[in-house]
Amino acid sequence: MNKKLIKFLLFILAVLILVIFYLSIFGFSTEKFNNKIKTEILNINNDVNLELKNVKFLLNLSNLSLNVKTFGPEVFFNNHQLKLEYIKTNISLKSFINDEFSIKNLQISTKAIKLNDIVQLARSFENSVELFLLNKIVKDGFLIGNINLNFDSNGRIKDNYEINGVIKNGKLVILDKHNINNLNLFFKIKDKEYFFENIETNLNQLKLSLPLIKIKEKNNQFLVNGKLISSEKDIDIKLLRSLLGDSFKVFNIEKINFNSDNDFTFIISKKFKISDFNLESIINLNNLDYKNNFLDLKKYFPNIKESIRLENHKVLINYKNNQLEISGKGKVIIEDKSDMLNYNITKKNDQYFFNTNISINKNPFFINILQYEKKEDLELLIKLIGVYKKNNQIKFDLISLEENDNRFLIKNLNLNNKFKIYDIKSLELNYVNNKKIKNEINLKKNKKNYEIYGKSFDASQLIYDQLNNDEDSISVFSDLNTSINVKIIKTYLDNVTFVNGLTGNLDFRNNKINKLNLDSSFTNNKKLTLTVNKNENNETITTLFSDYPKPLVKQYKFVKGFEGGILDFYSIKKNGISNSVLKIDNFKVQEVPVLAKLLTLASLQGIADLLTGEGIRFTNFEMKFTNKKGLMTIDEMYAIGPAISVLMDGYIETKKLISLRGTLVPATTINRTIASIPLIGKILVGKKTGEGVFGVSFKIKGSPKNLKTTVNPVKTLTPRFITRTLEKIKKN
C-alpha cells in the first residue's frame, strides 16, 4: 500500500514537474485571459484600449509569476490606432489569485509608427514636461521602438523605465525658425536621461552629423551636451545668417567652405529658454570670401581685390560663460599673392578683442603719406592689437609694422564709427622712405596736448597734399582740439632740400587750425616762416614767407627750372571762402608748358627759345585769387619781366575744367608804349622798330589733361594792362 502511494505521489510529482517544465519552457496560448489583461491595462490608463490576439503564457518560477506575450496587438487611444509588434508583461500569481493589480512590468515593441502617435501614447501614461516639449516640436517621421515600463503596487510607472529604438525621416520645428528635416537616429530614454546616437539630419538645409547627444534633467532644467560634425561643403550664406541671426550680420561673408568637429553643452528651461551655452569647435576652413566695404585699404594694398579670401585655415572656437574666443592661422589673399595671417579674437559682451599678425612677403604694400613702400621679397610683419566695439568704434592698443630696420609703432589709437581718429597716445616712426631719406620722428601725448619731435622727417608729401587740398580741416581726425609743439632738427621739403630747426606750435579747434606759427631756416641761412591766426572778425589769416621759394614752387610739377626769388603769400578766409595774394619777385623760369605754347602760337619764337634755354626772368609776379569749394577764381595774375609781360584772369575747377584768358606782350611793345623799358634786341618780335603787333590776346580752356589754347593779335593794349605795368615800374 505504501509503495503504491509512494509511486502515485511520485507520478503526480513527475507530472507536475513536467507541466511546470513545459509551462516554463514552451508555455501555452489562450484567449481566456485577454479580458483580464485589458482590464489591467485600463487600470493603468483608462484612455487606452487593447485589441489582443492569442496570448502566450510562460511560467516564471524565480518570482512566482507569469510572463505574458502577445504578437500583433493594436492599441486604441484618443482616436489613434497603433499597430505593435508585441506586448510582453509579467503577472504576479499571488496578485492574480487575490484579484489584485498583478502587472509588474510592461514591454512594448512597435512596428513603424508615426512619431506624433507615439508621443501622444506616452503622454497618455505620463504627461511630463519632456513629452510636452516633444509634442510641440515633432511634426513628422516614423519610430520603431521598445518600451519597458515597471509598475508599483498602485499601478504607477516606476522611475526605472527605459525606451529605446530608431527614428526615421523625422521632421521637427524648434522655436518656429529652425527646421530639422530627414532626421535619422538611435535613441535611449531613461528617467531624466536621454541619449541620442548616430544622428544624421538637415538643419535648415544644412547637413549635420551628431555622433551623440545626452540630455539630463536636473532641478527642473535640462542639461544638454553633445558632439556635432559638419562635412566639407559650400555653405549657403543666407542659411548661415538665418541660423546665427544678428551676430552674423557684422561679417560681410560672401562664400564659405569648411568642415568642423564641435562639442557643445547648454541648459534649457521648461520655458524653452537656453542658457549656459558652451561650445568647443575645430574648424578646417577651406576658403572664405569676405567683402570689405567699410575700410579703404587701396592706399595700402594697391592691388587689393574686391573680396578678401582666407584659405586653409585651422580655426579653434571656444564659447563659454558668454565669452567667445576664436583663434586661427592660414593663408590670406588680399592682393595677387597669398600671405600668412594668424589671429585671436575674444568676444566679451558687445566687444571683440583682437590680436592679429599679418606677414606680407611677395605682395606690395604702401603708406603713401609717409612715402614708404615695402621692398620686394622682404617680409613685412603687421601686428594689430585692440578692440572692436558694437557701435563700430575701434581702439588699437598697438599697431606695429616691421620690415628689417624699418619700424612703425602706434599706441592707443581710437577710431570712431566713421573710422576717424579721435585720440592717439603715441606714434614712433623710424624708417627709410622711397627717396632714401631717413625718417626718425615721434608724436607723444602730454595730457591733452601733443609733442612732435625727432631728428629728421620728409614733409614733401604732406606739403603736396595740402597744396592740392581745398579743405582746411585734417581729414583723418574726427574732432581735433589740441595744441601741438613741434621741434624737428631736419625737415625735408623735397629730395635734397631741407630746413633746419623747424620749431613752433599748432593749435587745433574743431579739427581745424586755429593758430599756427612755424619757423625754420635753410642751409644758406634763408628763412621759411608760416603763420595762421584768427582776427576779431573770426577770419583765418595765413601768411607764408620764404626768401628761398624754389623747393615750394617745385611742388608744382609743371614749373621747372625755377631760380631765385622772394615769396610772400597772404590769405584771409571766412565761411569757407578765401581771398589770397601771392607775390614772387626777381625770379626766372625755364619751363612752363602753357607759356611755351602761347609764345609759339604768337610767333614769338625768339622768346620761346629763351624760355627753354637760359630761362625768362620776371621782376614781379602777383596773383590775386579766391577759393571756394574746389573752385579757384583768378581775379588777376600779372607778371612783368625784361622779355615779356602777362596779364590774365579766369577760373580753375579742381580736376575738371580750366578757363583762362589774358594778354601777352613782348618787351619791345612795352618799350614803344611806355618808353621806359630797355629794348632787348633782335631776340624779340622783329628786327625793325614797329614790326609785329602790340601783343596777343589768348584763351586757355579745357580739362587739365586736354587744354586748348588760342591766340589773336591785338594792335591796341588795354588801359588795364598799361596801368598795371606803370604801377610795377613805379614800384621798382
Burial of 306 (0-12, 13-18, 19+ CB in 10 A): exposed
> Which has the minimum average pLDDT: 120-129, 411-420, 499-508?
120-129
Grid coordinates given for 379: 617680409
User: Taking a C-beta distance cutoff of 8 angstroms, is the pair 499, 530 a contact?
Assistant: no
Distance CA 650, CA 597 (A): 18
* Distances in whole angstroms, Cα of residue 677 to Cα of each of 425, 644, 724: 61, 11, 14
**Where residue 519 falls among pLDDT bands split at 50, 70, 90?**
very high
Q: How confident is the model at residue 692, as a pLDDT?
A: 41
Decide: helix, strand or coil at residue 13: helix
- Mean pLDDT, residues 166-187: 83
User: Taking a C-beta distance cutoff of 8 angstroms, is the pair 171, 139 a contact?
Assistant: yes
123: enclosing H helix or E strand: helix 115-125
Distance CA 101, CA 78 (A): 24
Question: Tell me: the pLDDT tens digits for 377-387?
Answer: 789 999 999 99
pLDDT > 90 fraction of the chain, expressed in percent and rounded: 23
Question: Tell me: the pLDDT tens digits for 173-183?
Answer: 876 667 788 88
Q: How confident is the model at residue 244, as a pLDDT?
A: 55
β strands within 480-562, DSSP E: 482-492, 498-509, 512-522, 527-534, 540-546
421: enclosing H helix or E strand: strand 421-432
Grid coordinates given for 567: 615769396
711 forms beta bridges with 698
> Which has the minimum average pLDDT: 195-199, 223-227, 564-568, 662-666?
662-666
> Which has the minimum average pLDDT: 124-138, 467-481, 548-562, 686-700?
686-700
**Where residue 690 falls among pLDDT bands split at 50, 70, 90?**
very low
- Mean pLDDT, residues 572-588: 89
CA angle 259, 260, 264 (to 5 degrees): 155
Q: What is the DSSP string of 184-222?
A: EEEEEEETTEEEEEEEEEEETTEEEEEEEEEEEEETTEE
| Residues counted in the chain | 732
- Mean pLDDT, residues 327-339: 90
Question: Tell me: the pLDDT tens digits for 394-441?
Answer: 999 999 999 989 999 999 999 888 888 889 999 999 999 998 999 999
Distance CA 677, CA 592 (A): 24
User: Taking a C-beta distance cutoff of 8 angstroms, is the pair 291, 326 a contact?
Assistant: no
Question: Tell me: the pLDDT tens digits for 352-365?
Answer: 999 999 999 888 89
326 forms beta bridges with 317, 345
* Distances in whole angstroms, Cα of residue 208 to Cα of each of 163, 171, 274: 25, 14, 21
115: enclosing H helix or E strand: helix 115-125
Q: What is the pTM of this model?
A: 0.72
Q: How confident is the model at residue 132, as a pLDDT?
A: 75
Beta-carbon contacts of residue 1 (< 8 Å; ≥ 6 apart): none
User: Taking a C-beta distance cutoff of 8 angstroms, is the pair 300, 308 a contact?
Assistant: no
Top-confidence residue, 9 or 690 = 9
Grid coordinates given for 318: 571656444
Cell 572664405 sits on residue: 288
pLDDT over 70 (residue 480): yes
Question: Tell me: the pLDDT tens digits for 639-686?
Answer: 888 888 888 899 988 778 889 898 888 865 555 444 443 433 333 333
First to last CA, the chain: 172
Beta-carbon contacts of residue 519 (< 8 Å; ≥ 6 apart): 501, 502, 503, 504, 527, 528, 529
User: Taking a C-beta distance cutoff of 8 angstroms, is the pair 569, 549 a contact?
Assistant: no
Decide: helix, strand or coil at residue 176: coil
Q: How confident is the model at residue 152, as a pLDDT?
A: 77
Q: How confident is the model at residue 680, as a pLDDT?
A: 35
Percent helix, strand and coil across the chain, each to the nearest 5: 15, 55, 25
- C-alpha neighbours within 13 Å on the C-beta side of residue 41: 23
Task: Calculate the CA dihedral of residues 435, 436, 440, 445 and round it to 10 degrees.
Answer: 30
User: Taking a C-beta distance cutoff of 8 angstroms, is the pair 474, 507 a contact?
Assistant: no
Distance CA 231, CA 213 (A): 18
Q: What is the DSSP string of 386-439?
A: EEEETTS-EEEEEEEEEETTEEEEEEEEEE-TTS-EEEEEEEEEEEE-TT--EE
Burial of 149 (0-12, 13-18, 19+ CB in 10 A): buried
Top-confidence residue, 427 or 79 = 427
Q: How confident is the model at residue 54, as a pLDDT?
A: 73
Grid coordinates given for 613: 634755354
What mean pLDDT is reported for the chain?
80
Q: How confident is the model at residue 691, as a pLDDT?
A: 40
Distance CA 684, CA 690 (A): 12
pLDDT over 70 (residue 708): yes
- Mean pLDDT, residues 114-143: 77
Q: How confident is the model at residue 30, as a pLDDT?
A: 64
